[in-house]
Structure 1
Amino acid sequence: MLLVVLDLAGIAVFAISGALAGVRARLDAFGIAVIGVTTALGGGIIRDVLLGAQPPTSLRDWRYLLVPIVTSLAVFWLHPQFAKLRRGVLLADAVGLGLFTVSGTATALAYGAPSYTACLIGMTAGIGGGALRDVLLREIPMVLRKEIYALAALAGGVVVVVGARLGFPAVPTAVAGAALIVTIRLIALWRRWNAPTARGIGT
């Protein structure tokens, strides 16, 4: 039940992020819904494919498709109100990253994946939907840019794995992992932390 709740919560906030990106790209209602659903479900589908879960969870449970569709259409109709909440959208994206990463990591552990594999799958689940969104919108994926994004997801995945291996309760461990991801992500945005980039390009 915990994994389902985390999944659906992450799906909703990522759908908001994707749908708003579609609004900024001036897509129509269908395009916005497609971008929202892709952002919301992409990471989970990648996770399930890597774990051999066939068909993916989002194709077996109607709630996984209904939530992002309804959320994306709500953003389409109410986007002026959502657009004013830029900080709220950044927070939603950070929360979505945290929820999806800990859910993906916990799911990988439940499938018996080794610790390092679970961390990588959790990170991939967290960043996968956003990467697909950016590719569809012809942008360089955020994870490949300077911002601290994937590293935050990986840190949270490590917390989940360590907590599971030490026998800590699942809920507090998941909350701690997600909180760490959100904290790192928001501090990175606030302090404008960036990963190193190559120097002297074009000179």
Structure 2
Amino acid sequence: MFLALLTYVGIVVFAASGALAGVRRRLELFGVCVVGLTAGLGGGIVRDLLLGVTPPVSFDRWTNATVALGASLLVFYVHPHLGRLRGVIGVYDAVGLGLFATTSASYALDLGASHFAAVLIGAVGAVGGGVLRDVLVNEVPLLLRRDLYAVPALLGALVVVVWAALGGPGDLGLLVGTVAATGLRLLGMWRDWNFPVSAVEPT
């Protein structure tokens, strides 16, 4: 039950980040909803395909798409009250990243994936929606920039997997992992922590 709740929250947050990105690009209503749906559902779809779940859960259940669409429509109409869009997108993305990292890892474990596979699938599920969102609005995906993006996702998934291996309560592991991943992502944004880039100028 707690896993399902966190999954829906993750869908809402990522869909909102996608819709806000569409609004910032001045897309019309349909375009905003497409980007929101893609961001909200994309990570889960990629996760399910990696786990051999066909059709993916978001194609098989109307609730996921409905939640993502509702969040996208809400953002389209209330975005003037959300302040600076880029900053809000970053916060929503960080929360969604943490939620999808932990829920995807837990879901993978429930389906019998190895610990190593669960960590990787958790990270892929976390970054998938954001990558698809950025591609749709013609931006370099956060995953490929200098920002700490994949590392927080890996941390959140790792916490869940280690917690499960130690026999800890699953719900607490999800909560701790989500806070760790989201916190590291937000801290990296605040402190401007980045990976180094090549000092060689392209020719």
Q: Smaller-chain TM-score range?
A: over 0.9
Q: TM-score, structure 1 length as denominator?
A: 0.96
Change (3 A) 1:20 1:85: closer
Query: What is the rounded CA distance, in whole Å, between the counterparts of 2:192 and 2:8 in structure 1?
Result: 30
Q: Which runs of 5+ in 1 are unaligned?
A: none
Change (3 A) 1:183 1:165: same
Query: What is the rounded CA distance, in whole Å, between the counterparts of 2:35 and 2:43 in structure 1?
Result: 13
- Output the aligned Cα RMSD: 1.3
Question: Which amino acid in structure 1 is aligned with residue 13 of structure 2?
Answer: V
Please, which moves more after superposition, 1-10 or 147-156?
Answer: 1-10
Please, which moves more after superposition, 50-59 or 28-37?
Answer: 50-59
The equivalent residue for 1:34 is 34
SS of alignment partner, residue 193 of structure 2: coil
Q: TM-score, structure 2 length as denominator?
A: 0.96
Question: Which amino acid in structure 2 is aligned with residue 74 of structure 1?
Answer: L
Does the aligned pair in 1 maintain the 2:47–2:121 contact within 8 Å?
yes
- Report the Cα offset of residue 83 of structure 1: 3.7
Cα deviation code 1:152-194 (max 9, x no counterpart):
1001111100000110000111111011101111110111000
Q: Which runs of 5+ in 2 are unaligned?
A: none
Does the aligned pair in 1 maintain the 2:3–2:171 contact within 8 Å?
no
- Report the Cα offset of residue 33 of structure 1: 0.1
Question: Which amino acid in structure 2 is aligned with residue 104 of structure 1?
Answer: S
The equivalent residue for 2:96 is 96
- Report the Cα offset of residue 81 of structure 1: 0.9
Does the aligned pair in 1 maintain the 2:14–2:40 contact within 8 Å?
yes
Cα deviation code 1:18-44 (max 9, x no counterpart):
001001111100000000000000000
The equivalent residue for 1:17 is 17
- The aligned runs of 1:34-183 (5 Å cut-off) are 34-84=34-84, 87-183=87-183
Does the aligned pair in 2 maintain the 1:14–1:39 contact within 8 Å?
yes
1:189 matched to 2:178: no
Change (3 A) 1:198 1:85: closer
The alignment of Structure 1 onto Structure 2 pairs a total of residues equal to 203
Does the aligned pair in 1 maintain the 2:20–2:85 contact within 8 Å?
no
SS of alignment partner, residue 133 of structure 1: helix
